[in-house]
Structure 1
Amino acid sequence: MITQAISQIFIPDTDETVNTSTYLDKPEEELFEIRRKLRPKVKELTLLCPTCFQPLILAGKKGGGFYFRHVKDSDDCPIKTTCNLTQEQMLAIQYNGQKEGRTHRDNKHELANLLSMDSAFEDINVEKTFREENPTGIAKSWRRPDVAATYIAANQKVAFELQVSTTFIDVIISREQFYKENNAYIAWVFLNFEARTFSELDIAYANRGNALVFDKDAIEASKQANELILKCFYKKPEIIEDSDTVYINDYWEHVMVPVRELQFDKAEGKLYFVDSKQLKKDAESFVMKRRAEIRQQKEAEAEALRQQQLKEKELRVQARASLSFIVKENPPIHSKPKTPSERRKRLKETLSTRIFNTLEKSKSLDSLCCPKCNNNDSFYYKACFVYCQVCRSEVKY
C-alpha cells in the first residue's frame, strides 16, 4: 500500500487536529508506549486520520524515527495514492469522519435523549459510530442522520443533522436531496451560530433564512419543558426612515422555539420557524410604497410653495396698484393758491383730517414744504406719511 506522509492527526477525545511533528515531539519511552496502545489488538488509545477518520498506528522507520500510517487493509483514503474513491465518496468520508469528535457525539445523544422526552415524537434513533458498524474503517454510506425521529401529528420522518465543523456545500446539497427523495425532512442543527462561515450561511439562506441551534440555552430550556426546544436564528428586515430616506437594515434575530412549532417546508423538505424571504418581500413592498408617499408629499409641498409664491406676487401687484390709485385720487395741482386761505383750504382737502389737525395744532401747517422742490401746497398722504405731489418725496412734519 503506497501512502503519502500523514502530516496531521485527529485526536477524537479532545476534538482537535495537531501536526504530526508536534505530537511526536515526546520522549522515546512515551512514544513506544503510545505505539503499543494504538495497536488494533490493544486499542487503549485512538488516533485518526484527519482526512478519512480511520484509525492510525505508529510505525518505525528503518533508519530510526516514527511515522503514522493507516492500519493494514484499511479502506481507501484520499491521501493514499492507490485511492479509487470518487469525489463524492471522499467528501462523504470526510463529512462522516467529523462525527468522531467528542462534542458531536455528546450532543447527538443529548438531542436524542430530549427528543425521547418529547411527546410529539416517536421512533427515536441514533446513528451508530463507525467502529460499531465497521471496525476497520468508516462507512462510506453517509446518508444516515445523527438522530432520526417521527413527528406523530403528521406521521412525518425528520432527520436531525448536527453541524460541528465546516461542511462542503456539495455534501449539504446531496444530503438534502437524499432525504427529500426519500420523503423525509431534514433539520440542520448548529451547536453555535455566528452567521460568518460559508457552511452556516449556505444552510441558513437555503432554509428561508433560518438557522436552528442546539446550544446550552436550548438544552436547559428543553430539560425544563420536557420537550426539544431549539434556538432559532432568522434574518429579520428592519425598516428605517431617516428624514426623506427609507431603507431596510437586515439583522439576525433569535427566539426559543419548540420543535413541534416549526413549519414544514414541503417544497424543500426542511424545517423552519419564520419565512424570512417573505418578510423581506413584505418589507421591500412597504419601502416602495413609503417612498412613493414621501415623493408625493414632497411634490405637494413644492406645489403649495409655488402657489404661496404666486399669491405673494399677486399681493405685491395689488399693493402697487393700490398706491397708484391713491396717487391718482390725489393728483398734483400745478397752480398754487394765491392766498393763505386758499393754501389752507387745499391742504385740508389733500391731507387726512388727523394729519391736518396735527399740523395745525403744532403750528407747522404754514411751514409745511418739500425740502427737495420747495413745493408748499401740493401734497398727498398714505397712512400717516405725507408725500410731495410734485417730486414724490416724503415730507417730514
Structure 2
Amino acid sequence: MDGDEEQNRPVVGGNVTFDPLAAALPVEEPAIREVLDCDTGEFVDARVWIGGQRYEGLIAQRVSVRERLSEKPRFRCSLCSVPVYLVANQLKHFFFRHITEDGSCPAETRSPLSRDEILARKYNGVRESEPHKRIKALIVRSLAADPSFSEILSEHQWRSSHDRHSRRQPDVQVTGPMGRVAFEVQLSTTFLDVVAGRRSFYRQEGALLVWVMGYFDPDYRRLTTDDLLFSNNSNILVVDEETAALSEAERRVHVRCHYRRPVREGDSLTDHWESYVVPFNGLTCEKETQRCWHFDYDRQAAALRAEIDKELQEREQATMDALRGELFSFWLSRSPNSAPDRTAVHAWAALRKALDDRGISLPPSPNDDSGFIALMNGVASAKEGNPVGWNFRRLVEVAHRISDGYPQHVVAFGHAVRLFEREKLLDEQDRTGKWKRRRSAIGASLRRGEPDFAPDPATIPLVDLLIPGTKAKLEKISPASSTHAPATSFSIVTAS
C-alpha cells in the first residue's frame, strides 16, 4: 500500500498519539523503498531505517532533514537522486517523499492535490481564527507587562538583514535581554516546511524563534505538535489567561511549560509528563538550535541511558567472567580419557546453553571435537603453566603440539601465553631453541599474510571469552576477514 493511499484510511478519533520512546513505524509498502544517506554515502532500506528509530528521535530528525533540503540534503531517492524528506500519514506511519516530482521517477509519492491546493483547503481562515487572535493578544499582554521587553509589534513584517527579498511576518516580535525574538502561535495544521523555513530564517538573523501554544494535552498530540515538541528538547510552551495574569501581576513574562521527565524503570526508560508556570527569562534559549526550554530532557535521558548501559555492561561482564571461570573449572576437572558422568553432562549442557545465548558455540560433548579439545588444552595449559589434557611434562611440548597438529589455534595459544605471562617459562624450557625457531617461522608466515596459521573464524567468539579482548585482533588475520592484514611479527600478534 502506498503511503498516500494508507493515509486515506480512516482513523478512530481523528488522531494517533505515540509513546515517544516507542519504535517509529514505516508504512507497509512505501513508494521510495531505498534512499541514499548523503552523510554516510550508504544506501539504506527506508523501512528498516525508519523502524530502527525511536519515535521521538525520528521526529527530531524529520525537522532536521526538512531544514537541510535546500542546501545540503541528508537523503536522496536511490532511483532518481532527487532530495527526499520524511512525512507521515494520519496513522503516524512514516515514509520518504520527493521534494519535487516531474514523473521521471517510478516512485510516486505525492497526492494529486498540489501543496497550494492543500494549503487552501486546510488553512483558509485558520490564521485569523478567534483562538489564534486570543493567544496572540495574550502574548502581547504578557510582554507589555514586562519592562525588560520593548518594541512589541504584532503582525509586523520582519525583513531579512542578509537578503532584501526574504521576509517573514511573525505573530509577535519584540526586543528583549536576549535580543530580537519572534513569537509564533502554533496552529494544528502548520506544515513542517513552514516550521523549518522560519527556524532557518531567524537563525540567520541571529534572533530567537519561540513557538507558543494556547493548550497542550500530552495524550492527544498531532504530528505537527510533535514536530515542535521533539525539536525543542521535549518542551512545549503555552500562554493562557493564568500565565498572562501572572505576568501582569509580577511584571515579568511567564509561560506554562509542559515537558517530559525521563524516569528509569528497571533497565528501561519511561516518561512522566510535568507542567509548571515559569518565568520566560528563566528558560534556556539557544539561537543556533532555535530551542527554548525549561527542563533539559535530552541531557537527563542521556544520563539515565548511560547509567543503564553501564550497569548492563557491568552485569554482562560479571556474567561472562563467571562463565569463563566455570568453563576453565570444568576443563581442569575433566577426565580426558573417560566419558563425562551425569553431573558433568548437566554442567556441560548448562554451559552450552548460557554461552549459546551469547553467540559462543560449544560442541554437544566436551569430547566430541579434537580441534576444540586442543584449543581448550592449549589455553588452559598456558593459564596453569603446565600441560592440561595431554600427557606432557612441560608447557613447551604443548606449544609444539598445537603448532604441529592445530595451527589454527597457534595465535590463540600465543595470546594466552602473553596474558598469563608464560613467555619466560617457555624460554627456559626451550633448551634446544626449537620453539624459538618455530615461533620465528610462524611470525614470518603471518607477516606474509599466509593462511597457514590463520585462526578459524568459528572459534573466535570462544577465544575472546577465554582471552578477553582478542576478538578484533583475531578477526583481522582470519581468512573470513575482508581486510586481512599481515602481522608484523608473531610476538606482536599474540600480544597486541
TM-score (norm 1): 0.45
Q: Specify which structure has the higher proportion of helix.
A: 2
TM-score (norm 2): 0.37
Q: Specify which structure has the higher proportion of strand.
A: 1
